[in-house]
Amino acid sequence: MFAVCTAKLTKKACQIAGKQGVTLAGKIALRLDPSILTALAGQVREKVFVTCGTNGKTTTNNLLCSAIEAEGKKVVCNHTGSNMLNGVVSAFVLAAKWNGKLDADYACIEIDEASTVRVFPYFQPDYMILTNLFRDQLDRYGEIDTTMNLLKKAMEMAPAMQVVANGDDALSAYLAQEGGKDPVFFGIGDPYFKEESSREIREGRFCKRCGERLHYHFYHYSQLGDYECPGCGFRRPELTFNAKDIQCGGKLSFTVDNLRISANYRGFYNIYNILAAYAGARTAGLSLKNYNQVLAAYNPQNGRMEAFQVGDTEIILNLAKNPAGFNQNISAVMEDTRKKDIIVLINDNSQDGTDISWLWDVDFDRFRDESIASVTVSGIRCQDMRLRLKYVDIASDLEPDVEKAIRGKIADGVGNLYVLVNYTALYNTHNILKKIEGEKK
């Protein structure tokens, strides 16, 4: 109880000081009471979900939380995306009452893949949603093989956990089949794109089971698609939740389980996020009949396609932190055919990954388009970003200070601005945009 109180006070103090303070609160709580996470997670009355995977964790997990809440349930969730051990502890501690009691039917917790083995000793979830596996911050996480080994170990630590995995991703499907109990798969059964970018970086082209080169019937993007191993017969599993009749561009819609789902989102990748949350909740026996209302009401406040309006300028802030995510971001930006200005902000702090070589694995040449009025590069590694663009014949303006870059484009831009940032810039850029939005009202 003392730990809960101290943690809550810490979070308050940090907020007053202008910092997020989520992970610090968790750290202090766990230090004061090492059993606190086990105790609080044990108070969840029905099911505990965790969401893992390189991209889409936060959106999927928050959607899942909203969907379950719409069924009249109480849910614990780490909304801000603080997803390592301390962040997970915080989610539970901050949801608890001052007397240490937790009033929750469900928990929806996103966990950084590498942290699963640190969290699972405290509690074993009932379900894991596995969104996808892409290369990400090689200097921090190492190769994908390392991440897969950790997830496999985590699945062994929670033998009763059911894995709900992206069947279009050979890496996730392999893991779920190897490690999970009665895995369930979601995916997009039929090809959607007429042409595919052959240059895109794809992971795991070789069968994880036997080492043969996988044969692909088609790709959606990156390595997601319909695959089959000529060597051992490993193939895309049957999709229990299969998104059909997809429409994409401006807004998304598709049919699953005879339910037509529509959302006012951009970005093909969001189909996977919407579908993953749906598959998770349905697997746990929830009806989700109000899912469309949930999607309509869902307004991301966390820099995932977050919209701002400053005078006549529409601004979209989006997180892009690895090649697969960035390529999907570019697709989402290009779905908007109006004239637009782009700001790309690249930092190399330790949470971003200090190695920024991945910029060269992103298909930035797609910004060489008539609809792109200007590109401004910002952040700690703006020079690297400018150089990256030079080698695809795109001239860019350099402005290390993102606030100046944003204000500049509000003043002289085309009124449609996309700000794409990597991890450590997200919180700060979000606050800057909130501030500017407030000034103009």
Partner 1 sequence: MKKSITIGHLYPDLLNLYGDRGNIQCMMKRCQWRGIEARTIEYNLDDTIDFSELDIVLLGGGSDREQMLVCRKLQEIQKDFKAYVEDYGVVIAVCGGYQLLGNYYQTDQGRMEGLHLVDLYTEQQPGRLIDNIVLQSDLCEMPVVGFENHGGRTKIGGNKPFGKVLYGSGNDGESGYEGVVYKNVIGTYLHGPLLPKNPQICDYLIGKALERKYKEKISLEPLEDLEEEEANTYITKRFL
Q: Where are the alpha helices (DSSP H) in 51-137?
A: 57-69, 85-95, 116-119
Helix, strand, or coil (residue 402): helix
Closest CA to 104 of 66, 65, 74: 74
356 binds partner 1 (CB under 8 A): yes
Segment 15 to 54, residues that bind partner 1, using CB under 8 A: none
200 near partner 1, rule: CB under 8 A: no
For partner 1, what does the binding mask look like between residues 111 and 150, x meaning CB under 8 A?
Answer: ------------------------x--xx--xxxx-----
Q: Is 355 a catalytic residue?
A: yes
Q: Computed from CA positions of residues 307, 308, 309, 310, in that sequence, does the dihedral angle turn out positive or negative?
A: negative
Judged by CB under 8 A, which of 245, 289, 297, 391 binds partner 1?
391
Span near partner 1 by CB under 8 A; candidates 115-123, 176-184, 269-277, 356-364? 356-364
Stretch that binds partner 1, among 47-55, 289-297, 302-310, 378-386 (CB under 8 A): 378-386
Choose the stretch contacting partner 1; rule: CB under 8 A; options: 75-83, 87-95, 264-272, 390-398.
Answer: 390-398
Q: Does 257 bind partner 1 (CB under 8 A)?
A: no
CB of 276 to partner 1, least distance (A): 26
Residue 390 binds partner 1, judged by CB under 8 A: yes
Using an 8 Å Cβ cutoff, are 176 and 245 in contact? Answer: no
Phi, psi of 5 (to 5 degrees): -60, -50
Contacts 24+ apart (CB under 8 A), 401-409: 402/343, 402/345, 402/378, 402/428, 402/429, 402/432, 403/432, 403/436, 405/343, 405/345, 405/376, 405/378, 406/315, 406/343, 406/432, 406/433, 406/436, 407/436, 408/376, 409/313, 409/341, 409/343, 409/374, 409/376
Instruction: Tell me the closest approach of the beta carbon of residue 355 to partner 1, in angstroms.
Output: 5
Which of 235, 236, 388, 430 forms a contact with partner 1 (CB under 8 A)? 388
Residue with tokens 């009124």: 415
The answer to the question of residue 361 lying near partner 1 (CB under 8 A) is yes
The one among 247, 337, 383, 431 contacting partner 1 by CB under 8 A? 383
Candidate segments 113-121, 183-191, 248-256, 354-362, binder of partner 1 by CB under 8 A: 354-362
Beta strands in 66-169 (DSSP E): 75-77, 106-110, 127-130, 162-166
Min CB(408)–partner 1 separation in Å: 20
What distance lies between CA 388 and its chain's CA centroid?
A: 25
Closest CA to 128 of 142, 146, 105, 107: 107
Query: Which 209-248 positions form the footprint of partner 1 (CB under 8 A)?
Result: 211, 213
CB-nearer residue toward partner 1: 35 or 383: 383
Dist. CA 354–CA 148, nearest whole Å: 22
Closer CB to partner 1, residue 228 or residue 361?
A: 361
Contact status: 397 vs partner 1 (CB under 8 A): no
CA–CA distance, 80 with 382 (Å, rounded to integer): 26
Give least dist CB 172 to partner 1, A: 17
H/E segment holding residue 306: strand 306-310
Q: How far is the CB of 326 from partner 1 (least distance, A)?
A: 13
At a CB cut-off of 8 Å and minimum separation 6, what does 387 contact?
none
The interface region with partner 1, picked from 49-57, 189-197, 310-318, 348-356 by CB under 8 A, is: 348-356
Q: How many residues bind partner 1 (CB under 8 A)?
A: 30
Inter-helix orientation angle 269-283/323-335, to 10°: 110
Among the residue ranges 8-16, 113-121, 271-279, 384-392, the one whose residues contact partner 1 (CB under 8 A): 384-392
- What's 360's DSSP letter? G
Tally: H helices and E strands in the chain: 15, 18
Among candidate residues 103, 312, 355, 401, the one labeled active-site is 355
Tell me the C-alpha distance between 354 and 211, whole Å: 31
Cβ at position 201, least distance to partner 1 in Å: 7
Report the residue number, 121 or 142, with the smaller CB distance to partner 1: 142
Binding site for partner 1 (CB under 8 A): 135, 138-139, 142-145, 199, 201, 205-206, 211, 213, 354-361, 381, 383-384, 386-388, 390-392
Residues identified as active-site: 355
